[in-house]
Amino acid sequence: MIIKDKRIVLGVSGAISAYKALELVRLLVKGEATVLPVMTSSAQEFITPLSLSTLAKNLVSTSLFERGSDVSINHIELAQKSDLIIVAPATANVIGKIASGIADDPLTTIIMAAACPVLIAPSMNDRMWENPIVKGNVEGLLSVGYKFVGPGEGALACGSIGKGRLAGVEEIFEAACEALTRKDLKGEKALVTAGPTREAIDPVRFVSNASSGRMGYALARAAKRRGAEVVLISGPTDLPRPSGVTCVSVSTAEEMNEAAVRYYPQSTLVIMAAAISDYRPKKSYSEKVKKDASTLSVELERTEDVLKQMGRKKKGQFLVGFALETENLEENARKKLKDKNLDMVVANGPAGLAGATNEVLIINRDGEIEAVPPLNKDDIADRILDRVVRLKSR
């Protein structure tokens, strides 16, 4: 996980959504980051420094002239020894101060002296967000390299509905990871497929498999973080759509094929993590099949092998396939690598299909093999992309 061992200053300013900063701290701490909280005086009207410091397991900076604590907080040192500063929530007032070069509290002082990226998550009333002065401030900050996440649209604390809601905590976390990631896939157009397909028997039944889609979604998120433009074609899953990624939802193998054919020509990197059905019912009933007879046979016919077609039509694309095997993992994976004209194959057992973790063998064209031990799928995704980057630069 990219945020592991990173020093992250979390600035909280005075908006009703300040309570969500507590959840963000929890996520960052879970990712093993060191969280250094800073609160404006208004933020302390909404949540207490005690809650924040308890969750962050660190002192909270609330004043430029801290007294009474055992350790005094050196704001300049905090600014210069941090890997990332997140301001969540960021009010119109704090954004205005940063944009105007005002440094009259610990948060704005740290930001002014920062040598690291600053990620701002605005939270305010919709009219405030639309205000031309606030807009100008945001544009000014964007133009000098500040990063923004959100705001989202929806019901606001003031009662109106519009744009101004603090971005979701997961979205801020993702943006933080992205801000810390080296852009080694910049310029790449990545096409990732994920999840199972469903082949209808009748209107209420289908042939499918246990794929959760997690591996493909982790790959799409990781490629996006690393600077690629990403299209994710996904079969039915319960997973949230990754932000900043073009998502195409499909259901059947045929739809998966159509979408893949559409995006393939302009892609430079293709990762086929989807568990596409190899067979579909030859006949799909228009009404629910009734249980009349004691046995029922469903005749199946082959679907298109999407990846094999891609291998045939390859024009400079770097093609990564998966191999799902219950026996002879390496041997079968090597066979797929050759038969489908791949640049790399990621071989996994059935445990990798639905779980949160995976254990894989990565084999590339020239026969080189890497055994990746059991890891969560985000880490596996980065290990796969590390190898893609290395091979592409050869």
Residues at the interface with ligand CTP (CB under 6 A): 253, 272, 274, 276, 278, 303, 305-307, 321-324, 336
C-beta of 173 vs 206, nearer to ligand CTP: 206
**Which lies closer to ligand CTP via its Cβ, residue 128 or residue 306?**
306
Measured from the CB atom, the residue of 288 and 312 that comes closer to ligand CTP is 312
Question: From the CB of 389, what's the least distance to ligand CTP, in Å?
Answer: 20
Residue 7: count of CB within 10 angstroms of its CB: 15
For the CB of residue 336, give the shortest distance to ligand CTP in the complex, in Å.
6
Nearest distance from residue 276's CB to ligand CTP, in Å?
Answer: 4
In the complex, least distance from residue 267 CB atom to ligand CTP, rounded to whole angstroms: 14
Nearer to ligand CTP, 276 or 385 (CB): 276
SS3 readout for the chain: CCCCCCEEEEEECCCHHHHHHHHHHHHHHHCCCEEEEEECCCHHHHCCHHHHHHHHCCCCECCCCCCCCCCCCCHHHHHHCCCEEEEEEECHHHHHHHHHCCCCCHHHHHHHCCCCCEEEEECCCHHHHHCHHHHHHHHHHHHCCCEECCCEEEECCCCCEEEEECCCHHHHHHHHHHHHCCCCCCCCEEEEEECECCEEEECCEEECCCCCCHHHHHHHHHHHHCCCEEEEEECCCCCCCCCCCEEEECCCHHHHHHHHHHHCCCCCEEEECCECCCEEECCCCCCCCCCCCCCCCCCEEECCCHHHHHHHCCCCCEEEEEEECCCCHHHHHHHHHHHCCCCEEEEECCHHHHCCEEEEEEEECCCCEEEEEEEEHHHHHHHHHHHHHHHHCC
* Closest CB 176 distance from ligand CTP, rounded Å: 31
Quote the CA–CA distance of 122 and 86 in Å, as a whole number: 11
Q: How far is the CB of 318 from ligand CTP (least distance, A)?
A: 14
Rounded Cα distance between 263 and 189, Å, is 10
Question: Among residues 11 and 235, whose Cβ is nearest to ligand CTP?
Answer: 235
CB nearer to ligand CTP: pick between 4 and 262: 262
Is 158 labeled as catalytic in the residue annotation? yes
What sign has the CA pseudo-torsion 189, 195, 201, 205? negative
Nearer to ligand CTP, 53 or 212 (CB): 212
Nearest approach, Cβ of residue 203 and ligand CTP (Å): 23
Residue numbers annotated as active site: 158
